[in-house]
Amino acid sequence: MNLVKRIGDRTSHVGVIGLGYVGLPLVMEFAGAGFPVTGFDVDSRKVDLLRKGESYIKHIDISPLRGRKAKFTATTDFSKLNGMDCILMCVPTPLNRNREPDMTYVFDTARAIADRLRPGQLVILESTTYPGTTDEDVRMILEKSGLKAGRDFYLAFSPERQDPNNKDFDLKTVPKVIGGYTKDCLRAAKALYDAIVARTVPVSSTRTAEAAKLLENIYRSVNIALVNELKVLFDRMDIDIWEVIEAAKTKPFGFQAFYPGPGLGGHCIPIDPFYLTWKAREYDFSTRFIELAGEINTQMPYYVAQKTMEALNRKGKSIRGSRLLILGVSYKPDIDDDRESPAFPIMELFQREGAILDYSDPYIPKLKKTRKFDFDKVSVKLTPRILKAYDGVVIITNHSAFDYRMIEKHARLIVDTRNALKGRGIAGHKVFRA
């Protein structure tokens, strides 16, 4: 197989489509392994910054790319796909307003590849999706070129497993699941990933690989829903859910700790399970467990809003007219990614009740308009004077950059959805947990 040999020689040209949280780390690993790499994106701002050697994702240091300019280039010109030997699709797979898969980015990207597809190329989809996307939908689009998958070109699926800013696991150390359309397709894809990751996990089909990724995220969604439901129950029973979890996780077998929060965020857990519920309808199957977990998790912003109103009432304040400061709008600590952040539905609920809102987040200087929300706000710098100006602060994301002792000292009232204060040994009469 000619392609496998070129991959082994590091002479095969790798193209990565989508230079976000998934695509950019791939570009860096392939370039670092000695492959010539081209990054494709429709966002000219990203391309321009990469050409200058600057990163647009705070936790990703792209300085290694600066010394590899001979190996790496970024472009918005998709006509150059014809020159790639291996093409990786790392584009978004969001939900539409009806909570159904929006495959626009994947299918449009597949059409762009099909227009330039040539014999011997390897095409890999990394975007999380429903089983059957690769070997049915993407394959049919690519085969409109007149070439046949498994005969004229190679086709595979390998789900991304990125956890932004995780200090313990990165792209290189996390095992890579790979499914090929045929055995030769699998062989080519495995050879490519073997060059950059410590371990590859080949499976029998692209559908198995697609289903494995969904299982990973559904597992987390269901268990987070469980502890979220228990949080609400234990709150009524005057039991500390965080203390319960700490006690339970001392069991050395049969238990894995999951933690409650104000709602789900990020591009995976709030979205991916619904790709399977949608596909299941094709088979006359109702995924009740998954849907129940989704229902519980999507109710958590309402719980936070209610607990905030109760906390204000105890201080003799109504939420209408109260000034509230939201602390953290990214979906997890210490990253600049606010996709599907629970902060946004919570802020919308507060505004609906008449609260006056601001936010502070060292990673998100300005809120961008999304398909669901439009908050025209910039981040407020935290100071004792600023904190005292608000009737209450609501901790949505527990960034390590926040000075929690200063917050506890100067804020009038604190609603903590992340156990950020007690978890650091900080407690007080003005701290309420939600």
CA-wise closest residue to 395 among 365, 422, 429:
422
pLDDT at position 397 over 90: yes
pLDDT at 132: 97
Q: Which residue has the higher pLDDT, 368 or 303?
A: 303
Q: Which band of pLDDT confidence, cut at 50, 70 and 90, is reported for residue 429?
A: confident
Residues listed for the chain: 434
pLDDT at position 302 over 90: yes
Q: What is the mean pLDDT of residues 261-279?
A: 89
Residue type, 217: N
| pLDDT tens, position by position, 103-159 | 999 999 999 999 999 999 999 999 999 999 999 999 999 999 999 999 999 999 999
For the record, the structure tokens of 219 come out as 């597992």
pLDDT at 109: 98
pLDDT at 97: 78
pLDDT at 270: 86
Report how far Cα 99 is from the mean position of its chain's Cα atoms.
17
- Please give the span between the terminal C-alpha atoms of the chain, in angstroms, as a whole number: 58
Does residue 185 carry a catalytic annotation? no
Is there a contact between 163 and 169 (Cβ–Cβ < 8 Å)?
A: yes
Q: Coil, strand or helix: which one is 58?
A: coil
Q: What is the mean pLDDT of residues 46-60?
A: 89
**Residues contacting residue 183 through CB under 8 Å, at least 6 positions apart:** none
CB atoms within 10 A of CB 276: 21
Q: What is the mean pLDDT of residues 168-192?
A: 96
pLDDT at 91: 97
Mean pLDDT of the chain: 94
> Which one of 86, 90, 185, 268 is the catalytic residue?
268
Distance CA 346, CA 361 (A): 15
pLDDT at 313: 96
Share of the chain above pLDDT 70, in %: 99
**Residues contacting residue 219 through CB under 8 Å, at least 6 positions apart:** none
Distance CA 192, CA 156 (A): 11
Q: Which residue has the higher pLDDT, 372 or 46?
A: 46
pLDDT at position 70 over 70: no
Q: Which band of pLDDT confidence, cut at 50, 70 and 90, is reported for residue 178?
A: very high
pLDDT at position 329 over 70: yes
For the record, the structure tokens of 160 come out as 């991304």
pLDDT at 330: 95
Q: Which band of pLDDT confidence, cut at 50, 70 and 90, is reported for residue 68?
A: low
Q: What is the mean pLDDT of residues 376-391?
A: 96
pLDDT at position 67 over 80: no
- The backbone torsions φ and ψ at residue 86, rounded to the nearest 5 degrees and listed phi first, read -130, 130
Q: Coil, strand or helix: which one is 266?
A: coil
The pTM for the full model equals: 0.92
pLDDT at position 1 over 70: no
Which run of H or of E encompasses 384?
Answer: helix 384-388
Q: Which domains does the chain have, with CATH numbers?
A: 2-204 (3.40.50.720), 243-433 (3.40.50.720)
Which run of H or of E encompasses 246?
Answer: helix 241-248
